[in-house]
Structure 1
Amino acid sequence: MTRRELAHWARQPVQVLVALAFPVMLLMMFGYLVGGGRGVHGDYLGYLVPGMLALTMAFGLEGTMLAVTQDLNKGVIDRFRSMPMANGAVLVGRSAADMLQSALGLAVLTGVGYALGWRAHGGPGAFLAAMGLLLLFRFAMLWIGIHLALVAGKPELVQAVQILVWPVGFLSNAFALPESMPGWLGTVVGWNPMSHTATAVRDLLGGPGGEPGHAWAAIAWPLALLAVFFPLAVRRFARLSR
């Protein structure tokens, strides 16, 4: 099932390239056109790049959501379910392909950050730990997207449903410190799971805005989301043929 999804990349390279280029465009826009970073002391690029890495893990779910709903409406999943295969193989294969693309996206955005002058500090171990936290967050967001896609059921509804993910990305500390925001907004941003991931990644990579002690929340939040949405998605998928 994972090879099937990867084969789609060869037939639809533009879609993959757009998914990789979008976060690069955001990084360039906020790093050079918007710039600044309210409340950030020190190198703003050092603050922005980890935030953009976390933001990339929250966005781009529509590709997976569309693929799931298209398979549903074309009857592909019904044919798979009639074959001697594990019940969750379709969803797990799709999620594995998405995680590979997410890892590629992290590599591309990290390379662009280095080209712009950003540097990661803390050593190889800290760097790998930061990438692990980002991919864990992506995995949790991915299963939220899969569940929403199964609930929506139709490709034309995916765009409306996936907008629910946008507040997670923009109501966060990806671009500015919560302390520089109005009190109520800073509180909301502080509780955002993505904010904990971004802060933990900044701490591991030695960037401005990093605070020790956020790694536990960056692990606990995705695991809690997985504990809710993974079984919901599997249960919803199991009921499709009833």
Structure 2
Amino acid sequence: MSTLTHGPAYGLAHDGIALLGRQVRRARNNPGLLVLTQTMPVSMLLFFGYVFGSALAVPGAAYRSFLVPGLLAATAAGGIMTGMFQAAQDVHRGVTDRLRTLPVSRAAVPLAQAVADTVLTAAGTVPFLLVGVAVGWRVEGGALAAAGALALLLLFRFACVWAGIFLGLLTRDEEAAGQLGGATFLLPLLSSAYIPADGLPGPLRTAAEWNPISAVTTALRDLFGNAPVPEGAAWPVAHPVAGTLAWCAVLLAVFVPLAVRRYAHGGR
């Protein structure tokens, strides 16, 4: 009704806000997932920081300070997995079909999922950063640069969730989405999130530097003041802020229309 009386933009905003509440309640009613998403990055920080950190030497910065931005970027990329699983779950359980019978904007449902996921990620970033401070990480680049880093991080998470939503609508099955989503853990391994990419062999270094996670990680390290931009890297890493914005633009331009179109057809 809102779309018919006030136009599509108003309908999208009105319906999106209403459905945003559904997504937040959904997360609240699934505390196990919240606990897992909150504790996993902290566990990886402590494990990698104290186990790998004793064997690696990162020039110009302590390894844990080097690692915190990488884990933030890897966590943001995890939006592919959460978006995929939730979208597939809704299709598999018939929720998508029920929502499509209601007079709501077709784009509002995936938009609400992406926004809710990004908001929860922002909230979950706070305790992770507090643990980072406790283990020695510091913001060295100033408050404004740090705010820009967090904005880039959340934009990347938002873009990754849209990719996950489309893949979830494509798989249409919770189990398949869970298995496919688990494969996304490999993406940070082929990036500079955990180790410097300049020490990798030629082809692996090229793949790592063109991995979007590497651009985001390098942008965060640069803006937080934790590590300088590496010299002689591929364009997305040599210009990490522009590279991150470019990757986000590509992800959104590709997956937003695909996800909305897929949702409009009931995930078929």
Do these two structures clear the TM 0.5 threshold for a shared fold by scoring above it?
yes
Which residue matches 2:49? Answer: 31
Which residue matches 1:91? Answer: 110
Cα shift at 1:8: 2.0
Secondary structure in structure 1 of the residue aligned to 2:250? helix
Cα shift at 1:36: 4.5
Which residue matches 2:7? Answer: none
Which residue matches 2:15? Answer: none
Secondary structure in structure 2 of the residue aligned to 1:35? helix
Answering whether residue 125 of structure 2 is matched by residue 106 of structure 1, we say yes
| Structure 1 residues 77 and 183: CA distance shift in structure 2, 3 A | same
Answering whether residue 186 of structure 2 is matched by residue 167 of structure 1, we say yes
- The Cα RMSD (Å) is 1.8
| TM-score normalised by the chain length of structure 1 | 0.93
Residues 108-123 of structure 1 mapped to structure 2, 5 A cutoff:
108-123=127-142
Q: Which runs of 5+ in 2 are unaligned?
A: 1-18, 231-237
Q: Which runs of 5+ in 1 are unaligned?
A: none
Cα shift at 1:67: 2.1
Cα shift at 1:217: 0.5
User: Which of 229, 233, 238 does residue 210 from structure 1 map onto?
Assistant: 229
Residues 57-68 of structure 1 mapped to structure 2, 5 A cutoff:
57-59=76-78, 61-68=80-87
Identity %: 38
User: Which of 224, 229, 238 does residue 264 from structure 2 map onto?
Assistant: 238
Answering whether residue 23 of structure 2 is matched by residue 5 of structure 1, we say yes
Cα shift at 1:163: 3.8
Is the contact between residue 47 and residue 209 of structure 1 (CA under 8 Å) also seen in structure 2? no
Answering whether residue 244 of structure 2 is matched by residue 226 of structure 1, we say no
User: Which of 160, 163, 167 does residue 148 from structure 1 map onto?
Assistant: 167
**Residues 100-133 of structure 1: CA deviation (Å, up to 9, x unaligned):** 1111222121111011121011211101100011
* Stretch of structure 1 that moved more, 88-97 or 22-31: 88-97
Which residue matches 1:127? Answer: 146
Work out the CA distance in 1 between the residues paired with 2:171 and 2:118: 22
Work out the CA distance in 1 between the residues paired with 2:56 and 2:205: 12
- Give the total of aligned pairs: 242
**Residues 37-78 of structure 1: CA deviation (Å, up to 9, x unaligned):** 756213212211111111110125433322222221222222
Secondary structure in structure 2 of the residue aligned to 1:118? coil
Cα shift at 1:180: 1.2
Is the contact between residue 38 and residue 177 of structure 1 (CA under 8 Å) also seen in structure 2? no
| Structure 1 residues 61 and 108: CA distance shift in structure 2, 3 A | farther
Answering whether residue 213 of structure 2 is matched by residue 194 of structure 1, we say yes
